Amino acid sequence: MEIKNSAWITVSQDTGDICPVFRKRFATEKKIEKAELQITALGVYHAEINGRRVSDYVLAPGWTSYDHRLQVQTYDVTAMLQKENDLRVTVGRGWFRSPMPGWMNSEDKQRRLNQPCGLIAFLYICYADGAEETVSTDESWQWAKSQILFSEIYDGETCDARITPTDWQPVKPLEWSNDILIPQEGEAIRETERVAAKRIFKTPQGDTVVDFGQEVTGYAEITLNARAGDEVLFDHAEVQDKDGNWYNENYRGAKARAKYICRDGWQTWHPQLTFFGFRYIRLLSWPGEAKPENFTAIAVHSDMKRTGWLKSGSAELNQLFSNIVWGQRGNFLDVPTDCPQRDERLGWTGDAQVFIKTASYLFDTERFFKKWLRDMAADQRKNGEVGQVIPDVMPEGESSAAWGDAAVICPWQVYQTYGDKGVLEDQFDCMRGWVDFITAITQTPELWTGHFHFGDWLGLDAPSGSYKGSSREDFIASAFYAHSTELVVKAGKLLGKDVYAYEKLHQQIVAAFRKAFPVYETQTEHVLAVHFGLAENPQKTADALAEMVKADGVQLRTGFVGTPYILHALSNYGHADLAWSLVLRREYPGWLYPTAKGATTIWEHWDGIKPDGSFWSKDMNSFNHYSYGAVADWVFEQAAGIQHAENKPGFEELIYVPHPDARLGWLQAKLDTRRGTVSALWVCQEDGIRYELETPVRAKVCLNGKETWVNPGKYTFWTEK
């Protein structure tokens, strides 16, 4: 990349909160054949040539492990150049100079906050006559204060449209590494949908609130006719309180405010260098009367291709499917995050691990995860430890079982869904390093005991006042130790590595586990024992789990660790009915409870809003947390029946094993795999069940206890009642 020979530039004096704009004017003499801009920044940037944005990429350069890797974007700008050109780049704090995480202070956070803003660019011009010219960042560039008076990840943005940058000054060279520059790896971040405001209403307390009817991650765009100096000020919220009043205490320290000082006339504006998670905005200041047509919510996220669709005869279930998709869209903004609204928005490893299979079915996430996993490898600590969040902006945080295991589970899942071993090659050292870390720090060889853990986070069997479910931490940690070791063995074998020692280790962990934990005490413990192949008699354990679920009133007691697998553990051992009962439960705790309460995304807590309308504590109550949306992988694989064998990754061959349930009438799933589109439908009729399957590959059809192989094609099957 030629940009590696350019120089970093920065401002010559501190601008405080104001975002600087850099500019370079240059002339071109002849007809241009091709012009290409390579550019990146320390911060997030917005680049224009002659007043036009160079690309629809927003929040570039995205979020990576900046000490090691900084993405460079390359834009074709051939059509934008004229004789006289003005290239301008506004740079905001973004993730680079962010106060993440919002709730705690650390040396590392101070270091980040004090980092300089910087820009580096390289423009290549090739003329029709073959002559070449380049424009690079250097001391000939200038900078000025931009209209953006403030922009920050948690607190929002302030723009004064009356300002035209005037006081142009020479830039300063910046000492910064060019070695960290890498080509764009992830998906571009784009505006992907515009959601019109549904209504404007006054709350009982007198606030004027705009409702978009859907929680989105992105920003609100305003269009209005105003006089210079008129002020628009609004904040953001996900829900209303039980009396219909404004509520955003769950944003905690994140102010999430947008402020705009108008110029004269009709104008349209939205924040440019930050984002918000919201369904509502409250107008704290607005000139004149606000109408719905003044407002549009714009969804912003990694622009992944949609690949999976679910639809059923149940409107509530369809709403849940929609919520899962919006949950992914709202939290796949370059990094898989826990939430988009409060003073967090971090790449929590555990959450990503829980949701990755669903994510990889609903959207093509191969590029997205490959990039994030490389950041994980870059941030992996010397002893193999993997931080709680990636990019690791909490280097002081200890890793936890089921969180650090993302290092192994995520690459394996990417390989399983898409079938390309490349991700395992990329990540193998990181995967193995994680297992070696556990081996080195455990207090009991062949198990993982001791150490800090998040446990079965948010488990419903948590003792009062705790976020951690009752499942034993050593149990969970040892189970994941076994699972990750097993995956390292599988990956290593595929890559032709010598993994004999890990194979032995895995056998030893399983034996030690069985000895140490002869009894399973909680739902999650049963689930892990079955799902990770640790139970000596999985059928008996799954049966016991089913009994336990029934004894608990056909209710979940699981948290982050148990929930993604519980339905699989049940339906794989003959308890699909019970799994469906859990899925279709409308009361708390159940997947359809939040939808009954009006959710448009997945909640962090089953009872984020309690049956009486009051809230779970404001400290930890996100209404856009994708984790429990992991149920969708069960719907694809078990309910609709679209599966593949582990040794046929990327759906090289299909296993069709549906689990219909008359309560929803019918279910249709469509999945665009690397081998083509699989479509599966079942319809419960009075006298039996009709199945329609379209498969692009050979498929093993498992119906009525029988297995038949079919070739690619379209099939209808029937089972009598």
Cβ at position 389, least distance to ligand BGC in Å: 8
Q: Which helix (H) or strand (E) holds 145?
A: strand 142-145
Give the three-state DSSP class for 9. Answer: strand
Q: Does 480 bind ligand BGC (CB under 6 A)?
A: no
Nearest residue to ligand BGC on Cβ basis? 338
8-state DSSP, 648: S
Nearer to ligand BGC, 160 or 351 (CB): 351
Q: Which residues of 413-439 are buried (b: 16+ CB within 10 A; e: fewer)?
A: bbbbbbbeeebbebbbebbbbbbbbbb
Active-site annotation holder among 157, 215, 238, 344? 344
- Does the annotation mark 185 as catalytic? no
Residue owning tokens 């439960």: 585
The window from 24-32, 293-301, 348-356, 405-413 that contacts ligand BGC (CB under 6 A) reads: 348-356
The window from 141-149, 188-196, 344-352, 635-643 that contacts ligand BGC (CB under 6 A) reads: 344-352
Residue owning tokens 């004269």: 264
Window 622-681: residues binding ligand BGC (CB under 6 A): 625
Q: Does 456 bind ligand BGC (CB under 6 A)?
A: no
Active-site annotation holder among 366, 446, 604, 637? 604
Cβ at position 620, least distance to ligand BGC in Å: 6
8-state DSSP, 647: T
Cβ at position 348, least distance to ligand BGC in Å: 4
**Two tokens at 137?**
């960042």
Nearer to ligand BGC, 271 or 350 (CB): 350
Q: Does 238 bind ligand BGC (CB under 6 A)?
A: no
Cβ at position 101, least distance to ligand BGC in Å: 9
Interface pick for ligand BGC out of 235, 238, 241, 344 (rule CB under 6 A): 344
Residue owning tokens 């301008």: 88
8-state DSSP, 636: I
Distance CA 140, CA 7 (A): 11
Q: CA-CA distances (angstroms) from residue 277 to 142, 233, 343?
A: 35, 17, 11
Cβ at position 279, least distance to ligand BGC in Å: 19
In the chain, the largest separation of any two C-alpha atoms, in whole Å, equals: 81
Residue type, 196: A
Beta-sheet pairing, 257-261 with 172-173: unpaired
Torsion of CA 357, 359, 363, 365, to 10 degrees: -80
Window 500-559: residues binding ligand BGC (CB under 6 A): none
Q: Which residues of 224-238 are buried (b: 16+ CB within 10 A; e: fewer)?
A: bebeeebebbbbbbb
- Residues contacting residue 365 through CB under 8 Å, at least 6 positions apart: 304, 332, 356, 359, 414
Q: Which string of x and - marks every residue 397-436 that binds ligand BGC (by CB under 6 A)?
A: ----------------------------------------
Cβ at position 98, least distance to ligand BGC in Å: 16
Backbone phi and psi for residue 153, each to the nearest 5 degrees, phi listed first: -55, -45
The window from 179-187, 236-244, 342-350, 568-576 that contacts ligand BGC (CB under 6 A) reads: 342-350
- Does the annotation mark 604 as catalytic? yes
Nearer to ligand BGC, 400 or 571 (CB): 400
Give the residue from 366, 371, 358 showing the smallest Cα distance to 327: 358
Distance CA 695, CA 692 (A): 10
Cβ at position 534, least distance to ligand BGC in Å: 24
Cβ(681)–Cβ(709) under 8 Å? no
Nearer to ligand BGC, 109 or 625 (CB): 625
Cβ at position 604, least distance to ligand BGC in Å: 6
Give the chain's length: 721
The window from 20-28, 345-353, 365-373, 652-660 that contacts ligand BGC (CB under 6 A) reads: 345-353
Q: What is the DSSP string of 653-702?
A: SEEE-----GGG-EEEEEEEETTEEEEEEEEE-SSEEEEEEEESS-EEEE
Cβ at position 220, least distance to ligand BGC in Å: 24
Q: How far is CA 133 from the centre of its chain?
A: 40
Nearer to ligand BGC, 623 or 656 (CB): 623
Nearer to ligand BGC, 22 or 348 (CB): 348
Give the residue from 105, 249, 226, 119 showing the smallest Cα distance to 622: 249
Q: Which string of x and - marks every residue 571-610 that binds ligand BGC (by CB under 6 A)?
A: ----------------------------------------
Nearer to ligand BGC, 339 or 592 (CB): 339
Distance CA 478, CA 443 (A): 11
Q: Does 457 bind ligand BGC (CB under 6 A)?
A: yes
Nearer to ligand BGC, 278 or 348 (CB): 348
Cβ(300)–Cβ(59) under 8 Å? yes
Nearer to ligand BGC, 457 or 615 (CB): 457
The window from 202-210, 338-346, 412-420, 704-712 that contacts ligand BGC (CB under 6 A) reads: 338-346
8-state DSSP, 116: P
Nearer to ligand BGC, 103 or 718 (CB): 103
Cβ at position 115, least distance to ligand BGC in Å: 25
Distance CA 493, CA 476 (A): 26
Interface pick for ligand BGC out of 186, 271, 330, 350 (rule CB under 6 A): 350
Cβ at position 16, least distance to ligand BGC in Å: 31
Nearer to ligand BGC, 104 or 645 (CB): 104
The window from 154-162, 175-183, 343-351, 435-443 that contacts ligand BGC (CB under 6 A) reads: 343-351
List the beta strands (DSSP E) in 153-206: 156-160, 169-170, 172-173, 181-183, 189-196, 199-202
Q: Does 351 bind ligand BGC (CB under 6 A)?
A: yes
Q: Does 454 bind ligand BGC (CB under 6 A)?
A: yes
In the complex, the residues that contact ligand BGC under the rule CB under 6 A are 338-339, 344, 348, 350-351, 454, 457, 625
* Active site amino acids: 344, 604
